[in-house]
Chain A
Amino acid sequence: MSRRAPWGVILFALTVVGSSSSHAAQAPASAQAQAQAQPPAPAPAPAPAPAGYSAPALYNLANAYARAGKPGLAVLNYERAKLLEPNDPDIDANLRHVREAVGLPPESRNRFERMAEIASPRILAWVGVLGLLIAGVSALARWQYPRHRRKLHAATLVGLSLVAVTIANGAALWPITHEAVVVTQAAPVRVSPVPIEEPLFVLPEASIVRMMGEHDEFVLIRTEAGRTGWAQRSSLAPVVPKRIASDGVSTSHN
């Protein structure tokens, strides 16, 4: 094995990762012009015709719902768009605007969440793989090239740092994968999963709750204020659906 071999491996890995990442994140410039020519949707648009999700499509769908006076569905789709493009200021601004319009406070994120969401999860996932490659190859190369031990040690640390960033992003996103948005005008929350009981409290539309369990047609939820109870599944839509529904709202939970 030649002395330049590990760097070759790293470059190869970078090439592989880079090509995968760019393939997933490509954004044709021509689409910009296409969108500018596209008139705004007067009513909630159905799910995008091509299968899959894209941040612009979800954002536009959310805008359409907001204009149609459906803040719950608007917030749901803004949240989904944010998962794909966490640093898009338009998504944040419109999400804040819609929540304020229905009297809900803007979402508050702590410093860890802000730092962890420096990039799209898709990009950070590949950054993590890249970090793993760098850390692994450099750790192995230290035996083969003892004279470059310090450089390889530094490369290992860099790789591990990239992996740590990915793990932090995953930790920050984990709660979001269990969140749901109230998509009906009001969601009564009961102490037990039966419809005949008097509600403990009522969640307004566009509220974001955390799903903690399920029972038949009820979901055990926890509000931002820490209150828990059972809400009807039909009142909620999970931020991360398992499959795409025709109206952009999935009733399946994770």
Chain B
Amino acid sequence: MRVPILRQRASIAAIALYLFSAATAPAAAPSIDATIEPQQIEVGESARLTILTSGSGTLSVTLPVVSGLEFRVVGQSHQIQIINGARIESTSTIVRVTAEEAGVFTIPGLTPSSPPLVLRVNPSRGGGSSSLLGNGASPGPPPFVPGGSNANGIHLTPDGSAFVHLEIPKHEIYVGESVPIEIQVGMRDGFVASINSLPKLNSGDFTLNNLSRQPEHAAKAIDGKAFTVYTWRSILAAVKPGTYSLTFEAPVTVRVRTRPQRDSMLDDLLGDPFLQNIFGTTVPKNVTVTSPAAAIKVLALPTQGRPPDFGGAVGTFKISADLSSSKNTAGDPLTLRMHVNGAGNFDRVESPMLRGDGQWKTYEPKATFNPADPIGYRGEKVFEQPLIAQQPGTHTVPALDFSYFDPGTRRYETAHSSPLSVTVSPAADSAGNEPPPPANAGASADESHGGLRPDHAVTEARVDSLIPPYFRPRFVGLSSVLALLFGGGWISLRRRELNARDTKRQRELARTQLIRTLLERMAAASSAGNAAAFLSTARSALQQALSARWEVEPEQIAEDLVDARLEGADKDDIRQIFTLADEANYSGDDLKAADFERWTQIVSRQFIEETAS
């Protein structure tokens, strides 16, 4: 894994140096002088190649190309001297030469007349934290942060650019015990380019399990410097007793400063690694950062008091058990589950579950682990075991036991579950559940496979697919068409019914309005003493009211229909109104005020009854 930070890849390119001489004053021919310091470095370190040109005229210089060395111009200075009226120009170009591999390199002369330069590159002294920079052969970068342990117990590399820190909750553990640990790799911002792989355990006496694939990262200030700390979590377990030293290492790529301390005043003044990179004062270098050794004492598990069913589980656990059903049919399987919750080495948590006996037929259990944290230190392991009750009746599934070693109490513990009760009813076809004897099969019972029932008669009825009809397009289409047809019909009929109800209601409203108008006319005729108009209007009002009640046309309501459909006082009164209405048109008799009021009440009563109905 690489953690990309600011990564600067210097490219080797030919560059031209153009030197200009004074055009006016007479001067000597241009000359080039090149020196390299130091002449002996290590792989990854850099030397300084100084190219000094002097004299007049234009001179083009091409940087040499040497396999295994990287050339990069890092600075240039121009000087003009006037001696006795003569003007002398000189240009000094600083080129950084970084060794990529060991060997003795010959840098060809920059001009045909220049002598070649020799640079000796020694192999790197090793990847430990102590070898990271700061050696006397290198140009001598000063430590950014003093090495050694700080107040947080963190050991920085001598150059202060990185650290590996191990967080272990305890230093005395038991064989097989799982201990959650944290591995922190800190990288000073700007000085470490990448982490090149996962942290590695430098010990064969421990195992590292479930190392998190993606580290957590956070910014942290250490001794006033900004660091990015990557944290991996894992489970450490010891394989044998003894006292051991535990270290972790992480390969990283750091940026190494190449200029000597005396030339790095500007770097230290700037401080900012970004600015230092701009000025080209660092080169990448692969190093391995190692954590300080941590002493761990590994104890053997005691033999005294070890339960016979102890399977190597070390931690703190609780168990519970349940059944898939409390009622069952003989011959049908039940599932017995045992839940082991807690923290510890779940990979060693095993259980034979229930053993078969005359009461229960058992099968091999299956286990599933559900971690509660990313490293699987805490969680729940569920064992599932199919059981079959041999006989009907009320049975008890005995309590399950689970033994483990508790490092907290330093002794073996045995957890127990509660017994479970289940009622097993006889199978409906208990005789049919058992394979019949071959003699009863009649056809093809196989003696060597006596458990198998005989073959069946092969019929010609076949289906073209095993896909159930519900999931076939033809069936789905047919059902959908039927459902749509019926749904559409139902909606259509429902809408028609609602419309009919609306029409009837509208008609009743119109009739009510008409009756009300007629009653008002009756009142007007009564006030005017116009008996003929009053009785005629009263008859019309009664016809409207009764037509709604009898569901006939108003014009059809006459005395004979009143006689046929009405009874009691209403019949006589209404019939009398009809008679008087006919007579009033010819006789011209007047009515008394009391009669007007009486007939009005009779008509109103019919209207009220109609409205109520």
Contacts and interface: CB of A to CB of B under 8 A. Distances in A.
Contact of A33 (B366, B457, B460, B465): B457
A52 B452 contact: no
Contacts of B444: 38-40
A36 B443 contact: yes
A133 B481 CA distance: 11
B153 interface: no
B428 to A, nearest CB: 10
Interface stretch (B186-194, B261-269, B482-490, B522-530): B482-490
Q: Categorize the interface residue count of chain B.
A: 35 or more
Interface stretch (B220-228, B429-437, B564-572): B429-437
A98 B366 CA distance: 20
A98 B450 CA distance: 11
B463 A84 contact: yes
A36 B432 CA distance: 20
B435 A125 contact: no
Interface in B446-469: 446, 448-449, 451-469
Interface in A143-160: 143
Given A24-B463, A80-B466, A121-B468, A34 B482 contact: no
Interface in A69-127: 80, 83-84, 89-90, 93-94, 97-98, 101, 103-108, 121-122, 125-126
A173 B471 CA distance: 10
Contacts of B332: 106, 108
B470 A56 contact: no
A177 B456 CA distance: 24
B335 interface: yes
Interface in B224-275: none
Nearest to B364: A103
B497 interface: yes
B442 interface: yes
Given A38-B455, A60-B458, A93-B432, A133 B471 contact: no
Contact of B468 (A52, A106, A170): A170
A254 interface: yes
Given A26-B461, A56-B458, A170-B468, A132 B475 contact: no
Contacts of A108: 324, 332-335, 386
Interface string B86-114: 00000000000000000000000000000
B388 interface: yes
Given A36-B443, A67-B446, A140-B486, A125 B458 contact: no
Contacts of B453: 63, 90, 93-94
A136 B486 contact: yes
Interface in A138-188: 139-140, 143, 166, 169-170, 173-174, 177
Interface of B: 324, 331-335, 363-364, 366, 368, 384, 386, 388, 429, 432-435, 442-444, 446, 448-449, 451-471, 475, 478-479, 482-483, 485-487, 489-490, 493-494, 496-497
